[in-house]
C-alpha cells in the first residue's frame, strides 16, 4: 500500500473508473511512452496500490481500452503495451487484483499474424483500435440487467491484429468466449440478454435496398424490438429509412422459474437467475435479475463484501511530517496524541542546543585562548638622543619623580 507517485508537468493522472467501493487511477510514465500504471484505492479512496503496469494510454489522443463490464461485478478489460510494441488485451475478474489474458475461444484458431502460436489468446478491439482507424463499427457492449453477457470485436493471436476483426460473445462475464460472427458487425442487446442467438443466418428485412448506418434500440436493453437505420437514394436527394424488427412475434411464452440457470462469483457468492440457452421465451420489461448473495471467506481486495477473518491493524503516517531530532522516532507520529505532545519536546531540545552552543563559545574564549592578554608599551624617543647625551636621562628621571620621591629600578624591570 502506498500513496500515488508524483508526476511532473508533462505527466498526468486519469480516473478510469470510480464507485462507492474503490477508484481506478491511471498514472502516466515519464516521457512520451504511451503507457503508465493502474493504481486501485481502498474503500475510502485514500490509500492506493499498484494493479497493472504498462497500461496503454496514448498521450496524443488520450485513448485507452479500459472497459468496465457492467454485466458482472468486478470484471474489467483493458490493453497493455508490451515491450515489443504490440498491444495485448488483459482481463481482471477481481476488481484489479490480478490481470490475465483472455481465454482463446474453442471454435477459433490463432491468426496468421501471430509470432508465437503457443501464446494465442483473444484480444478485444476498443477505443484505441477506433482511433487507429481500424474497421471496428462498435465498442464492447454489456448491460447490467443482461447478467454475464459481453459482445465485442476482437482477434485471436499473440496481440491485437490490424486485420478485419470478428464478433465474439461471452455469457459468463468474460471467462469463456465464442466466435459468433465473421467480420465486423453492428449488434444490440434485447430482452435483458434473452435474445441471444446460437445460430446466425442472412435474412432480408426489406425488399428495397438501403444504405445501412446503424442499429437503434430502447435504452436499458429491455425491449423486444430493434430498428435498422439507413437511407435510400432518390432522383435528386436522399431520405432516411427505419425498419423495425419485433421479436415478440417469435417468442410467445413467458419465462418461468425453471428456465434460469444459476452461478456464483469470487469472494461474494451470488446466484443469478438467467435464461438457459435452450429456453425459447421472453423476459419482459419488468424483468430484474434475481440476485441472492451472502458474504464468505476473508476480505482480500477493496470493494468486496467478505466478512470475518483477521482484520489487520490500520496505521497511517503523514509523509509531510519530518522528525527534527533523533529523540523523535517514527512511532511518535502515528497518533494525534503523539503529534500534540511532541511540540514541547521539540522546543525544549532546541533551547538546550542553543544554550550549549553559547556556553561552548564562552568557554573557548576564556580558557583556550587564555586569560592573559599581551600589553605593549612604547616610549617616545626624542630626536637626536645621542647628541644630547645625559640630558635625556635627566629629563626622564625628573618626569618619574614629579609625583613623589624618586624610586630606584632594577635593570631587568619592565617598568
* 114 within some domain: yes
* 407 within some domain: no
Both 335 and 216 in one domain: the answer is no
* 361 within some domain: yes
Q: Rounded to an integer, what distance in angstroms lies between the CA atom of residue 223 and that of residue 192? A: 8
The domain boundary residue, chosen from 295, 320, 340 = 295
Q: Rounded to an integer, what distance in angstroms lies between the CA atom of residue 228 and that of residue 221? A: 16
Q: Rounded to an integer, what distance in angstroms lies between the CA atom of residue 51 and that of residue 40? A: 6
* 122 within some domain: yes
Question: DSSP 3-state assignment of 118?
Answer: coil
The domain boundary residue, chosen from 295, 316, 350 = 295
Q: Rounded to an integer, what distance in angstroms lies between the CA atom of residue 191 and that of residue 283? A: 6
Q: What is the mean pLDDT of residues 341-358?
A: 84
Q: What is the mean pLDDT of residues 131-160?
A: 94
* 146 within some domain: yes
Q: What is the mean pLDDT of residues 10-15?
A: 89
* 167 within some domain: yes
Q: What is the mean pLDDT of residues 341-364?
A: 83
Q: Rounded to an integer, what distance in angstroms lies between the CA atom of residue 169 and that of residue 178? A: 5
The domain boundary residue, chosen from 270, 295, 320 = 295
Both 28 and 97 in one domain: the answer is yes
- pLDDT-derived band at 317, boundaries 50, 70, 90: low
Both 334 and 290 in one domain: the answer is no
Both 218 and 347 in one domain: the answer is no
Both 252 and 338 in one domain: the answer is no
* 79 within some domain: yes
Find residue 100's DSSP bridge partners.
91
Both 173 and 124 in one domain: the answer is yes
Does 396 have pLDDT greater than 70?
A: no
Both 267 and 212 in one domain: the answer is yes
Range of the domain at 264: 13-196+208-295
* 87-145 residue pLDDT tens: 999 999 999 999 999 999 999 988 877 777 777 999 999 999 999 999 999 999 999 98
Both 189 and 335 in one domain: the answer is no
Both 291 and 334 in one domain: the answer is no
Say which residues have a Cβ less than 8 Å from residue 402's Cβ, sequence separation at least 6: none
Q: Rounded to an integer, what distance in angstroms lies between the CA atom of residue 340 and that of residue 323? A: 14
* 377 within some domain: no
CB atoms within 10 A of CB 197: 9
What pLDDT shows up at residue 218? 83
What pLDDT shows up at residue 358? 86
Both 150 and 270 in one domain: the answer is yes
Both 270 and 359 in one domain: the answer is no
Both 170 and 260 in one domain: the answer is yes
Q: How many domains does the chain have?
A: 2
* 248-304 residue pLDDT tens: 888 777 777 665 554 444 455 666 666 776 777 767 666 666 555 555 544 445 555
Amino acid at each position: 500500500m502506498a500513496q500515488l507517485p508524483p508526476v511532473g508537468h508533462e505527466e498526468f493522472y486519469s480516473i478510469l473508473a470510480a464507485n462507492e467501493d474503490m477508484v481506478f487511477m491511471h498514472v502516466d510514465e515519464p516521457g512520451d511512452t504511451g503507457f503508465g500504471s493502474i493504481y486501485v484505492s481502498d474503500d475510502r479512496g485514500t490509500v492506493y496500490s499498484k494493479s497493472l503496469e504498462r497500461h496503454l494510454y496514448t498521450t496524443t489522443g488520450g485513448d485507452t481500452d479500459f472497459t468496465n463490464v457492467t454485466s458482472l461485478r468486478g470484471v474489467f478489460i483493458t490493453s497493455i503495451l508490451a515491450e515489443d510494441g504490440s498491444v495485448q488485451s488483459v482481463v481482471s475478474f477481481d476488481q484489479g487484483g490480478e490481470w490475465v489474458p483472455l481465454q482463446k475461444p474453442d471454435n477459433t484458431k490463432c491468426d496468421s499474424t501471430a509470432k508465437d502460436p503457443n501464446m494465442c489468446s483473444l484480444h478485444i478491439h476498443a477505443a484505441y483500435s477506433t482511433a487507429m482507424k481500424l474497421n471496428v463499427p462498435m465498442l464492447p457492449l454489456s448491460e447490467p440487467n443482461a447478467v454475464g453477457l459481453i459482445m465485442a470485436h476482437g482477434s485471436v493471436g499473440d496481440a491485437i491484429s490490424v486485420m478485419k476483426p470478428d464478433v465474439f460473445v461471452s455469457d459468463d462475464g468474460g471467462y469463456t468466449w465464442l466466435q459468433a460472427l465473421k467480420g465486423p458487425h453492428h449488434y444490440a442487446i434485447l430482452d435483458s440478454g434473452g435474445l441471444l442467438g446460437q445460430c446466425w443466418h442472412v435474412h432480408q428485412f426489406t425488399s428495397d435496398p438501403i444504405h445501412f448506418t446503424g442499429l437503434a434500440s430502447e435504452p436499458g436493453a429491455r425491449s423486444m424490438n430493434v430498428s435498422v437505420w439507413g437511407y435510400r437514394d432518390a432522383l435528386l436527394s436522399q431520405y432516411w429509412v427505419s425498419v423495425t424488427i419485433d421479436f415478440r412475434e417469435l417468442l410467445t411464452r413467458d419465462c418461468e422459474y425453471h428456465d434460469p440457470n444459476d452461478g456464483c462469483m469470487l469472494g461474494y457468492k451470488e446466484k443469478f437467475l438467467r435464461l438457459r440457452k435452450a429456453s425459447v421465451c421472453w423476459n419482459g420489461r419488468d424483468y430484474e435479475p434475481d440476485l441472492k448473495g451472502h458474504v464468505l471467506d476473508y476480505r482480500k481486495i477493496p470493494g468486496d463484501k467478505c466478512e470475518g477473518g483477521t482484520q489487520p491493524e490500520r496505521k497511517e503516517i503523514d509523509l509531510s511530517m519530518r522528525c527534527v531530532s533523533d529523540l523523535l522516532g517514527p512511532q511518535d507520529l502515528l497518533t494525534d496524541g503523539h503529534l500534540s505532545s511532541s511540540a514541547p519536546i521539540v522546543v525544549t531540545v532546541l533551547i538546550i542546543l542553543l544554550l550549549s552552543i553559547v556556553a561552548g563559545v564562552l568557554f573557548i574564549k576564556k580558557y583556550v585562548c587564555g586569560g592573559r592578554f599581551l600589553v605593549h608599551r612604547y616610549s617616545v624617543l626624542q630626536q637626536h638622543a645621542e647628541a644630547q647625551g645625559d640630558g635625556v636621562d635627566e629629563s626622564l628621571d625628573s618626569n618619574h619623580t614629579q609625583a613623589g620621591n624618586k624610586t630606584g629600578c632594577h635593570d631587568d624591570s619592565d617598568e
